[in-house]
Amino acid sequence: MASKARAASAIITSDVYERITHRIVEQLETETRPWMQPWGGGGTPVRPLRHNGMAYRGINNVLLWMTAAENGYASRYWMTYKQAAELGGQVRKGETSTLVVYANTIERKETDDAGDEIERRIPFMKGYSVFNADQIDGLPERYRARPMVTAENSKERLEVADRFFANLDADIRHGGNRAFYQPGGDFIQMPPFEAFVSAEAHATTLGHEAIHWTMSPTRLDRNLGRKKWGDEGYAREELVAELGSVFLAADLGLAIEPRDDHAAYIASWLKALKNDKRLVFQMAAHAERAVAYLHRLQPAADNANDTVDEPVAV
């Protein structure tokens, strides 16, 4: 089929990194953060879902959020042309697909200089095309968007968030007017709950700092080269925390607003992205690992994290 709707279901291309990074750079240059485009009720971000209900992870969240915002798609579901057909659906003629990626490694046996056989791990990036359910006719009703219910800002504490963060067993201190993670003392500092405009603002801010908390050598041992406040390594860690806080908000059903203090990082992120086309993939992978780590600290009964999808190593 010659239509745009019959885009290749699987492609391997050397410019996948460049194409996706270019899209993100274009939005950042307009001071739009593409990962801050939630499309759930009350401003709550929601994870895009595959045809089987499994959630996307890492950079694919950003890619699908961007496309949904640009085209006004309301459904959470995305699928390939073949998957749509297997469900009894038909991609409408002329519809344009969206690129998502799968990153993993393959193992290959080689012989070293000494004649010994060794195994070498080779990373690869595979791109494939998906369509939103809004682009497809004839799908079962469950793939359609449900009416959005606008959430009310409330100063009553959120039990789901309080329980989640209590299960981390982190040293969370309250006082002052700044929120931050202090690596030296390994503690999270938060302003009093009453200082926030809503319970969700408190919870999402704490989520941001909890992502930073995972960088400790005793946890994920994430070192992105941060040596002082405001340097390139600092900006990279802030990008991880910003992405991670949005992913976590989607998992916990929390509305989120961009933090004003992160507008200053856009210039730094733009410079870094233009110099390294793989950067946003790597930072999104770090963010997803951080979120997964926080979920692993939850009791099995509380851990509803279903974001098991493609590997995110790039």
| pLDDT value of residue 152 | 53
Q: How far apart are CA 289 and CA 212, in angstroms?
A: 12
For residues 130 and 98, is the Cβ–Cβ distance under 8 A?
Answer: yes
| pLDDT value of residue 95 | 96
| pLDDT value of residue 294 | 97
Among 294, 298, 5, 290, CA closest to 131: 5
| pLDDT value of residue 247 | 94
The 3 state secondary structure assigned to the chain is CCCHHHCCCCECCCCHHHHHHHHHHHHHCCCCCCCCCCCCHHHCCCCCECCCCCECCCHHHHHHHHHHHHHCCCCCEEECHHHHHHCCCEECCCCCCEEEEEEEEEEEEEECCCCCEEEEEEEEEEEEEEEEHHHEECCCHHHCCCCCCCCCCCCCCCHHHHHHHHCCCCCEEECCCCCEEECCCCEEEECCHHHCCCHHHHHHHHHHHHHHHCCCCCCCCCCCCCCCCCCHHHHHHHHHHHHHHHHHHHHHCCCCCCCHHHHHHHHHHHHHHHHCCCHHHHHHHHHHHHHHHHHHCCCCCCCCCCCCCCCCCC
| pLDDT value of residue 272 | 86
| pLDDT value of residue 203 | 94
The region that residue 60 occupies, defined by phi over 0 for left and psi between -120 and 50 for alpha, beta otherwise, is alpha
* pLDDT under 50: residue ranges of the chain: 1-13, 38-39, 149-151, 306-314
| pLDDT value of residue 37 | 60
| pLDDT value of residue 235 | 87
| pLDDT value of residue 126 | 83
Q: How far apart are the first and last CA of the chain?
A: 33
Place of tokens 């519809």: 95
Residue 80 phi, psi dihedral angles, 5° rounding = -80, 170
pTM (2 decimals)?
0.79
Contacts of 253 (CB under 8 A, 6+ apart): 44, 160
